[in-house]
Chain A
Amino acid sequence: MFLINCPFCGDREQSEFKAGGEAHIVRPKQPTELSDDEWAEYLFMRKNIKGVQFERWNHVHGCRKWFNVVRDTSNDQIKAVYKMGEKPPT
Chain B
Amino acid sequence: MKKNFRVKRSKHIDETYKISFKFNGKLYYGFKGDTLASALLANDIHLVGRSFKYHRPRGIMTAGSEEPNAIVQLHNNSPWTEPNVRATEVEIYEGLEASSQNCWPSVNFDIGGINNFLSPLLPAGFYYKTFMWPASFWEKYEYFIRKSAGLGKSPTKPDPDIYEHRYIHCDVLVIGAGISGIISAKTAAKNGFKTLLVDEKPYLGGSTIYQNSEYFKINNQNSGSWLEKEINEIKKIENLEIKTRTSVAAYHGYNYLLAKENLTDHLPIERRKNKTRHKLLKIRAKKVVTATGSIERPLIFDNNDRPGILLSSAIKKYADLFGVACGKKNIFFTNNDSAYETTISLIQKGINVEAIVDNREEVDSKLIYEVEKNNIKIFKGHTIVNTYGYKRINKISIMQLSKDGHNVIGSKIDLSCDCLGISGGWTPAVHLFTQSGGKLKFRDEDQVFIPNIYPSDQISVGACNGDLTLDSILVNVPKSLKDFLNIKNNVYENFDVLSSHNNSKRNIWLLPSDKVLGKTNSFVDYQNDATAKDIKLALREGFKSIEHVKRYTTTGMGTDQGKLGNMHALGIISETSEAKMGELGTTTFRPPYTPLTFGTIVGRNVGEYFDAYRKTPIHEWHVKNRAKFENVGQWKRAWYYPKNNENMFQAVQRESKAARESAGILDASTLGKIDIQGADASEFLNRIYTNAWSKLQIGKCRYGLMLNEDGMVYDDGVTTRLGENHYLMTTTTGGAANVLGKLEDYLQTEWPELDVYLTSVTDHLATISVCGPNSKKIISEIFPSLDLSDKNFPHMSFKKTKIGKIHCRIMRISFTGEQSYEINVQANFGKSVWEKCMEVGKNYNITPYGTETMHLLRAEKGFIIVGQDTDATMTPIDLQMDWIVSKKKYDFIGKRSLYRSDTIREDRKQLVGLLTDNPNEILEEGSQIVSDINKSPIEMLGHVTSSYFSPNLKKSIALGVVKGGKNMLGQKLIIPMENKKINVTVTDPVFLDKENKRLNA
* Bound form: Cα–Cα A76–B891 in Å: 38
Interface string of A31-60 (1 = CB under 8 A from B): 110101001100100000000000010101
Partner among B710, B748, B896 whose Cβ is within 8 Å of the Cβ of A66: B748
CB distance from B749 to the nearest CB of A (A): 5
B752 proximity list for chain A (CB < 8 A) = 84-85
Query: A27 contacts the other chain (Cβ, under 8 Å)?
Result: yes
B895 touches A60 (CB 8 A): no
- Number of interchain pairs (Cβ within 8 Å): 51
Interface residues on B, range: 20 to 34
B900 proximity list for chain A (CB < 8 A) = 36, 39-40
B153 proximity list for chain A (CB < 8 A) = none
* Bound form: Cα–Cα A39–B896 in Å: 8
**Given A65-B748, A66-B748, A66-B749, A32–B254 Cβ distance below 8 Å?**
no
B890 proximity list for chain A (CB < 8 A) = 32
CB distance from A16 to the nearest CB of B (A): 13
**Given A2-B253, A75-B437, A39–B897 Cβ distance below 8 Å?**
yes
B256 proximity list for chain A (CB < 8 A) = 1-2
* Bound form: Cα–Cα A36–B898 in Å: 11
A43 touches B895 (CB 8 A): no
* Bound form: Cα–Cα A34–B709 in Å: 14
A56 touches B254 (CB 8 A): no
Query: A64 contacts the other chain (Cβ, under 8 Å)?
Result: yes
B741 touches A84 (CB 8 A): no
- Nearest A residue (CB) for B258: A1
Query: A20 contacts the other chain (Cβ, under 8 Å)?
Result: yes
**Given A20-B745, A84-B748, A3–B895 Cβ distance below 8 Å?**
no
- Nearest B residue (CB) for A32: B896
CB distance from B439 to the nearest CB of A (A): 11
Query: B94 contacts the other chain (Cβ, under 8 Å)?
Result: no
- The A-contacting residues of B in range 846-881, CB under 8 angstroms, are none
B254 touches A58 (CB 8 A): no
CB distance from B688 to the nearest CB of A (A): 12
A1 touches B749 (CB 8 A): no
* Bound form: Cα–Cα A79–B51 in Å: 50
B709 proximity list for chain A (CB < 8 A) = 27, 43
Interface residues on A, range: 20 to 34
B253 proximity list for chain A (CB < 8 A) = 1-2, 75-76
Interface string of B882-910 (1 = CB under 8 A from A): 00000000110001110011000000000
**Given A39-B896, A43-B897, A2–B254 Cβ distance below 8 Å?**
yes
A31 proximity list for chain B (CB < 8 A) = 891, 895-896
Query: B445 contacts the other chain (Cβ, under 8 Å)?
Result: no
* Bound form: Cα–Cα A36–B748 in Å: 27
A27 proximity list for chain B (CB < 8 A) = 709, 750
B741 touches A60 (CB 8 A): yes
* Bound form: Cα–Cα A34–B437 in Å: 45
CB distance from B675 to the nearest CB of A (A): 15
* Bound form: Cα–Cα A56–B748 in Å: 12
- The B-contacting residues of A in range 1-46, CB under 8 angstroms, are 1-3, 18, 20, 26-27, 30-32, 34, 36, 39-40, 43
* Bound form: Cα–Cα A60–B896 in Å: 29
- Nearest A residue (CB) for B748: A66
**Given A1-B252, A1-B254, A76-B254, A56–B749 Cβ distance below 8 Å?**
yes
Partner among B455, B741, B896, B901 whose Cβ is within 8 Å of the Cβ of A34: B896
* Bound form: Cα–Cα A40–B903 in Å: 13
- Nearest B residue (CB) for A44: B710
Query: B744 contacts the other chain (Cβ, under 8 Å)?
Result: yes
CB distance from B674 to the nearest CB of A (A): 13
- Nearest B residue (CB) for A60: B741
* Bound form: Cα–Cα A27–B710 in Å: 12
* Bound form: Cα–Cα A60–B741 in Å: 8
A66 proximity list for chain B (CB < 8 A) = 744-745, 748-749
A32 touches B748 (CB 8 A): no
* Bound form: Cα–Cα A76–B750 in Å: 27
CB distance from B181 to the nearest CB of A (A): 25
- The A-contacting residues of B in range 712-755, CB under 8 angstroms, are 741, 744-745, 748-750, 752
Interface centre among B437, B455, B709, B749 (most CB of A within 10 A): B749
* Bound form: Cα–Cα A1–B591 in Å: 14
- The B-contacting residues of A in range 66-83, CB under 8 angstroms, are 66, 75-76
* Bound form: Cα–Cα A75–B901 in Å: 40
B749 touches A84 (CB 8 A): yes
**Given A43-B709, A76-B253, A58–B895 Cβ distance below 8 Å?**
no
* Bound form: Cα–Cα A1–B900 in Å: 40
- Nearest B residue (CB) for A74: B437
B745 proximity list for chain A (CB < 8 A) = 20, 58, 66
B741 proximity list for chain A (CB < 8 A) = 18, 58, 60
CB distance from B262 to the nearest CB of A (A): 23
* Bound form: Cα–Cα A86–B402 in Å: 72
A1 proximity list for chain B (CB < 8 A) = 252-254, 256
B254 proximity list for chain A (CB < 8 A) = 1-3, 76
**Given A2-B253, A31-B891, A84-B749, A64–B896 Cβ distance below 8 Å?**
no
A20 proximity list for chain B (CB < 8 A) = 745
A64 touches B895 (CB 8 A): no
* Bound form: Cα–Cα A27–B896 in Å: 12
CB distance from B759 to the nearest CB of A (A): 11
CB distance from B872 to the nearest CB of A (A): 14
B710 proximity list for chain A (CB < 8 A) = 43
* Bound form: Cα–Cα A1–B749 in Å: 26
Other A-B pairs, 19, CB within 8 Å; known A39-B897, A64-B744: A2-B253, A18-B741, A20-B745, A27-B750, A31-B891, A32-B890, A32-B891, A32-B895, A32-B896, A34-B896, A36-B900, A36-B901, A58-B745, A66-B745, A76-B253, A76-B254, A84-B749, A84-B752, A85-B752
Q: Which residues of B contact A (CB under 8 A)?
A: 252-254, 256, 284, 437, 455, 709-710, 741, 744-745, 748-750, 752, 890-891, 895-897, 900-901
- A and B contact pairs by CB, cutoff 8 A, 27 listed: A1-B252, A1-B254, A2-B253, A2-B256, A3-B254, A3-B284, A27-B709, A31-B891, A31-B896, A32-B891, A39-B897, A43-B709, A43-B710, A56-B749, A60-B741, A64-B744, A66-B744, A66-B745, A66-B748, A66-B749, A75-B253, A75-B455, A76-B253, A76-B254, A84-B749, A84-B752, A85-B752
